[in-house]
């Protein structure tokens, strides 16, 4: 069996940056073993398998709203093409203030005595969001040494499955300007640091919207690869995330 295969760098317009993911187009259902074998062969954090729900569907077909709808194991995902990227439609997830004393050991294990300005927790995603002091800048977040090795052994394991570090943007600083920065770590599920994470911005979006008084924001995830996201909060309680995409490999997989 020969399958069309792509590697796409998401949330960037430049190859070898952003979040790399493999995309495999399949005509018929593959068994779970085949999915796992292909994913291990790709050796990336994400491998997506796209199959038409109806034989008459076309992978490149557009509806009247220029939107493609994907039925995924995590629910329905809608994507539409914009002039300068692809827009993904996500739900928003609220957070609540987290008592420092309950997570102090986890935070100190990860980042030591770095100054913390706010701590929030998302029960829907089990992500702990730590906002660093406004006295720090982007370079500090980018070069911060984060120790993820001991985190799965902390007392908060079970409650926390991901750690978001975030920082307010720098007005009048670098060009282009960003409203906020972030990094994401999930050693609890085998991801030391994720290059760019769309799902964390379902938390970061509403948090920074309230802090900054803005509905439209530009974000940068400060991983080694780096990635840019345009965040737009909608009146219906959802969020649009726009980012670029660069196809860096296109070929045929023989199974």
**Among candidate residues 97, 93, 94, 89, the one with its CA nearest the CA of residue 72:** 89
Identify the active-site residue in 46, 102, 142, 193: 46
Which residues does residue 88 pair with via DSSP β-bridges, in sequence order?
79, 241
Residue 130: what are its φ and ψ, rounded to 5°?
Answer: -115, 115
Per-residue confidence (pLDDT) for residue 75, from 0 to 100: 75
In this structure, which topology does domain 96-242 adopt according to CATH? Diaminopimelate Epimerase; Chain A, domain 1 (3.10.310)
Render each residue's pLDDT in the chain as its tens digit; 255 residues. Answer: 899 999 999 999 999 999 999 999 998 888 999 999 999 999 998 899 998 777 655 544 445 467 888 877 777 889 999 988 999 999 999 999 999 999 999 999 999 999 999 999 999 999 999 999 999 999 999 999 999 999 999 988 889 999 999 999 987 666 679 999 999 999 999 999 999 999 999 999 999 999 999 999 999 999 999 999 999 999 999 999 999 999 999 999 998
Per-residue confidence (pLDDT) for residue 174, from 0 to 100: 63
CATH superfamily for domain 2-78+244-254? Diaminopimelate Epimerase; Chain A, domain 1 (3.10.310.10)
Per-residue confidence (pLDDT) for residue 76, from 0 to 100: 81
Per-residue confidence (pLDDT) for residue 57, from 0 to 100: 58
41 assigned to active site: no
Per-residue confidence (pLDDT) for residue 252, from 0 to 100: 97
* DSSP of 71-126: EETTEEEEEEEETTEEEEEEE----EE--HHHHHHHHHHHHTT--EEEEEEETTTT
- Distance CA(229)–CA(18), nearest Å, equals 10
Per-residue confidence (pLDDT) for residue 61, from 0 to 100: 45
Tokens of 159: 């409650």
Domain layout of the chain by residue ranges: 2-78+244-254, 96-242
């Amino acid at each position: 069996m020969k399958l069309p295969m792509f590697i796409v760098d998401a949330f960037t317009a430049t190859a070898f940056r952003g979040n790399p993911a493999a995309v495999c187009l399949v005509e018929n259902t593959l068994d779970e073993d085949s999915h796992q074998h292909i994913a291990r062969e790709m050796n990336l954090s994400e491998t997506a398998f796209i199959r038409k729900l109806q034989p008459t569907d076309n992978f490149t077909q557009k509806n009247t709203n220029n939107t493609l709808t994907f039925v995924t194991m995590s629910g329905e995902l809608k994507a539409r093409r914009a002039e300068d990227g692809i827009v993904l439609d996500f739900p928003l997830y609220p957070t609540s203030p987290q008592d420092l004393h309950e997570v102090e050991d986890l935070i100190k294990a990860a980042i030591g005595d770095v100054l913390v300005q706010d701590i929030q927790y998302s029960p829907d995603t089990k992500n702990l969001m730590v906002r660093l002091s406004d006295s720090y800048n982007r370079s500090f977040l980018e070069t911060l040494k984060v120790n993820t090795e001991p985190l799965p052994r902390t007392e908060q394991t079970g409650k926390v499955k991901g750690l978001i570090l975030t920082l307010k943007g720098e007005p009048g600083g670098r060009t282009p300007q960003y409203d906020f920065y972030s990094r994401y770590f999930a050693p609890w599920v085998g991801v030391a640091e994720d290059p760019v994470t769309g799902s964390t911005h379902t938390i970061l979006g509403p948090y920074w919207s309230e802090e900054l008084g803005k509905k439209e924001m530009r974000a940068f995830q400060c991983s080694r690869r780096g990635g840019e996201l345009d965040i737009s909060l909608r009146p219906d309680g959802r969020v649009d995330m726009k980012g670029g995409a660069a196809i860096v490999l296109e070929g045929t997989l023989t199974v």
